[in-house]
DNA sequence: CATGTTTATTCAATCGATTGAACAACTAAT
DNA sequence: ATTAGTTGTTCAATCGATTGAATAAACATG
């Protein structure tokens, strides 16, 4: 009997979380006094503050985030929408966003779209329900209509985009200079005397790929190189896409002598096909990728690629959000941060190596 | 003047979120009636329900998650603690956890420990503050004391561990049979007539590595193979560790003829050193890794490794949590789910290939 | 001693949704 | 016509913390 009683007491203790009321009861104070003491309110005596803090520790008090968020209208949560985390690029960016936001007292709620517009819409609704203080996102491949992102803006929730952005949305954006990257690559290949460059790229409705394509065209023109028929191919940029397209290119009448792929995955697929076909890389054909994924240095030959400083992109995205939160009124000037990126020249495109 | 007025009206509309009270005002109902209508309460007439739903759509009502969570004592958020997301293994697992939980109406809050015990403690406190409905975690390398995990249990918050678990904690766990994996590997290598097998592994205070080491020892004994002095080396299992240890092993008097590394990264480091030294793999020395990271098939020779079905681990972890939520009383039987894993035999350890 | 000032704390409303109890209106049964 | 039962809605308390206003006490000043 006694044992049972004892047990139920213990269970009660476990279940019951201490609130400011409990602290108040212990010290003969009201909840509001306790709340003020904990928040270092100037009108509370140091003696009381000390007593409250001690009691809080003794009772293992942990503030109820939900109630204070409700009252203050601020959840200290940030929604993070990405196509998927299962790539080195996104996981690096997320890792850094999370680090920076955590340091500043924010929690990150993750949502993956798997490149699906539908899932993206659902995620946005969900995050808005949760009353996130802001949303950081990289737009899904499928997305061509930005009404849901407009909705975020209309609700007055700060929105920061990275990588896959959109000019029309008129929000903070962190990315790289895709146009210029294409120039770097074409200049490098032209300098190596490659002349028939093909471009395996993403869908041109996405701004970053549109820019890469534009950069590619302009750079080719600048170096007086003709753009072959069918040599700009849009796809999902996965390994399999690279393989498929490379095979098709090899069967073309005018076979290219260099490939600029807009992802390392596509570059890898293309390279695999060339190795299988016994085509010498870079002697017969050069390959340049994009993104500096870790595997690009593991395969032989190592793949030349664009390094985008993922960590920095993540940090800047988080900082842009924090900045926006700090001065919500300063809606005039948008943060359009274009970060540096660099061409890593490796053996897949360097004949003299 | 008119313009200004108009503008401020618009701004107000933007800022103000519609609540159940607004819906009530529109229809001449009280907030409680509206709430019940939205929650499909049996005592509310169908007519009213319909009217409320229509009004909700018209006013673009979005429920305030915070208030309902506060009232119901259920936040529908799950904390996810991982060493870091920036590896294929963890990002795959997380991706699947998120998918399953989202489908079931839960949101995922992420926290990375970066293998630091301190950060782990902070994350746990934070997640408990937020009033998560449960926590899914993989323990940091540094962690040897489990008091913070005990705290989770004491608060009555469901806890599920995966990969890096701990027997003493007595909670749901999803993982693979590490002991048996070591057997598979040793059996394979012994079958290939390798005799002097070294084991590069993680710290033995972590259960999975303890089990792999135990499995390694037992399997070696089973195949009558002597365990060399200094041939079980504990480390952080990064590429650099693999390199360092491989170099040391090469300088040993009794050089091993096979390496069983407890991570693909360590295996990669070791393999790189062997290739640099001109040592034939697998003829002179075999290498087997662990985890089936994507790069293991990119490098030549491809690395033999253990494939752990990451997606399944993630799904099962999420399901274990959901199960625990459904029957909170059924505390008796714990889910200890040991998933299958398979040895992928590739050219780094297959002489006859 | 009356009045003003400072300091420390309590009061009471609030954030938005939920929920059991209460109530009113209506129907069915005795 | 009285009682019982059903149905649809309102009432009021609640979740836990926050915050401006009010109050009380202590002290200083004329």
Closest Cβ opposite residue A298 in set B75, B85, B298? B298
Cα separation, A275 vs B299, in Å, equals 13
In the structure encoding, which two tokens stand for residue A118, read together?
């539908």
- E strand residue ranges, A14-139: 77-82, 107-112, 134-137
Q: Which domains does chain A have, with CATH numbers?
A: 5-63 (1.10.260.40), 75-176+310-339 (3.40.50.2300), 178-308 (3.40.50.2300)
pTM attached to this predicted model? 0.89
Per-residue model confidence (pLDDT) at position B15: 53
**Which residues 15-34 of A have a C-beta within 8 angstroms of B?**
15, 17
Mutate to test the interface with B, among A15, A85, A118 (most CBs of B within 10 A): A85
Distance from C-alpha of B20 to C-alpha of B44, rounded to nearest angstrom = 15
Interchain CB contact of B94 with A (< 8 Å): yes
**Strand D contacted by A45 CB (< 7 A):** no
* Tens-level pLDDT at each residue, chain A (353 residues): 333 333 333 333 445 689 999 999 999 999 999 999 999 999 899 999 999 999 999 999 999 999 999 999 999 999 999 998 888 899 999 999 999 999 999 999 999 999 999 999 999 999 998 899 999 999 999 999 999 999 999 888 999 999 999 888 889 999 999 999 999 999 999 999 999 999 999 999 999 999 999 999 999 999 999 998 889 999 999 999 999 999 999 999 889 999 999 999 999 999 999 999 999 999 999 999 999 999 999 999 999 999 999 999 999 999 999 998 887 666 656 778 999 999 999 999 998 75
**Record: contact A95-B77, CB cut-off 8 A:** no
pLDDT of residue B65: 92
Q: How far is A42 from chain B (nearest CA, A)?
A: 25
A169: left (phi over 0), alpha (psi -120 to 50) or beta: alpha
CA B30 – C1' D5 distance (Å)?
25
Residue A5: the pLDDT is: 36
Which residues have CB under 7 A from strand C? A 28-33, 36, 41, 43-45, 47-48, 67, 70-71, 73; B 17, 19-21, 31-32, 35-36, 38-39, 43, 61, 63-64, 67-68, 70-72
In this structure, how many other beta carbons lie within 10 angstroms of the beta carbon of residue A326?
A: 8
Which residues in chain A are contacts of B85 at CB distance < 8 A? 85, 91, 94-95
A341: nearest Cα among A305, A301, A316: A305
Is any Cβ of chain B less than 8 angstroms from the Cβ of A275?
no
Pick B70's closest partner by Cβ from A66, A98, A109.
A66
**pLDDT score for B333:** 67
A residues 37-66 lying closer than 8 A (beta carbon) to B: 62-66
* Distance of A72 CA from C15 C1′ (whole Å): 7
Q: A229-280: per-residue pLDDT in tens?
A: 889 999 999 999 999 999 999 999 889 999 999 999 999 999 999 999 999 9
Is residue A92 within 8 A of residue A314, CB to CB? The reply is yes
Return the pLDDT at A330. Answer: 60
Question: Residues 191 to 230 of B: which have CB under 8 A from any A CB?
Answer: none
- Region of B292 (left: φ > 0; alpha: ψ -120 to 50; beta: rest) is left
Residue B199: per-residue pLDDT: 98
Residue B109 to residue A77: CA distance in whole angstroms: 9
At B170 the pLDDT is: 87
Specify whether the CB–CB gap between A218 and A190 falls below 8 A. no
The answer to whether the beta carbons of residues B200 and B233 sit under 8 Å apart is: yes
Buried b / exposed e along B106-124 (16+ C-beta atoms within 10 A): bbbbbbbbbebbebbbebb
Sheet holding A258-261, edge to edge: A232-234, A197-201, A258-261, A286-288
| Predicted pLDDT at B155 | 86
Under DSSP, the state recorded for A229 is T
CA gap B35, B284 in Å, rounded = 73
* Nearest nucleic acid nucleotide to A47, CA to C1' distance: C8
- B89–chain A nearest CA distance, Å: 9
**C-beta atoms of B75 and A66 within 8 A:** yes
Q: Is residue B141 within 8 Å of A139, Cβ to Cβ?
A: no
Taking CB atoms and an 8 Å limit, are A62 and B128 in contact across chains?
yes
Q: Which chain B residue has the Cα nearest residue A67?
A: B70
∠ Cα B242 B244 B247 (to 5°): 105
Check CB contact of B131 with chain A, cutoff 8 Å. yes
- In chain A, whose CA is at the least distance from the CA of B113? A99
Query: Following DSSP, what letter does each residue of B192-215 receive, concatenated?
Result: TT---EEEEE--TTSHHHHHHHHH
DSSP A193: T
Which residues, given as ranges, of chain B have pLDDT below 50? 1-14
Residue B13: predicted pLDDT: 42
Q: What is the pLDDT of residue A13?
A: 42
**What is the model's pLDDT at position B154?**
86
| 327-346 in chain A: CB under 8 A from chain B | none
Q: Provide the token pair at A144.
A: 């061509």
By the 8 A CB rule, do B89 and B293 touch? yes
């Amino acid at each position: 009997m006694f044992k049972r009683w004892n047990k139920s007491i213990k269970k009660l203790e476990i279940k019951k979380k201490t609130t400011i009321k409990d602290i108040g009861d212990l010290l003969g104070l009201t909840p509001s006094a306790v709340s003020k003491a904990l928040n270092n309110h100037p009108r509370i005596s140091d003696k009381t503050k000390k007593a409250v803090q001690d009691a809080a520790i003794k009772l293992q008090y942990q503030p109820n985030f939900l109630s204070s968020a409700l009252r203050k209208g601020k959840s200290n949560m940030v929604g993070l929408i990405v196509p998927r985390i299962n790539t080195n690029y996104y996981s690096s960016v997320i890792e850094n966003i999370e680090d920076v936001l955590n340091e500043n007292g924010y929690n990150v709620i993750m949502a993956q779209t798997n490149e699906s517009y539908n899932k993206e819409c659902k995620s946005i609704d969900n995050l808005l329900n949760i009353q996130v203080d802001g949303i950081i996102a990289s737009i899904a491949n499928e997305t061509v209509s930005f009404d849901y992102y407009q909705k975020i803006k209309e609700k007055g929730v700060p929105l920061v985009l990275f990588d896959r952005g959109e000019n029309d949305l008129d929000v903070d954006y962190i990315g790289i200079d895709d146009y210029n990257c294409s120039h770097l690559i074409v200049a490098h290949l032209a300098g190596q005397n490659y002349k028939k460059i093909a471009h395996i790229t993403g869908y041109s409705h996405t701004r970053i790929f549109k820019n890469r394509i534009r950069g590619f065209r302009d750079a080719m023109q600048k170096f007086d190189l003709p753009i072959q028929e069918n040599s700009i191919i849009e796809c999902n940029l996965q390994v399999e896409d690279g393989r498929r397209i490379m095979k098709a290119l090899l069967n073309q009448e005018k076979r290219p002598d260099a490939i600029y792929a807009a992802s390392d995955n596509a570059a890898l697929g293309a390279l695999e096909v060339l190795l299988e076909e016994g085509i010498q890389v870079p002697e017969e054909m050069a390959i340049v990728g994009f993104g500096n994924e870790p595997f690009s240095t593991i395969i032989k030959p190592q793949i030349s690629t664009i390094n985008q400083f993922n960590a920095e992109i993540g940090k800047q995205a988080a900082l842009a959000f924090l900045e926006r939160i700090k001065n919500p009124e300063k809606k005039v000037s948008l943060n359009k941060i274009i970060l540096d990126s660099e061409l890593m020249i490796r053996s897949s495109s360097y004949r003299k190596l």
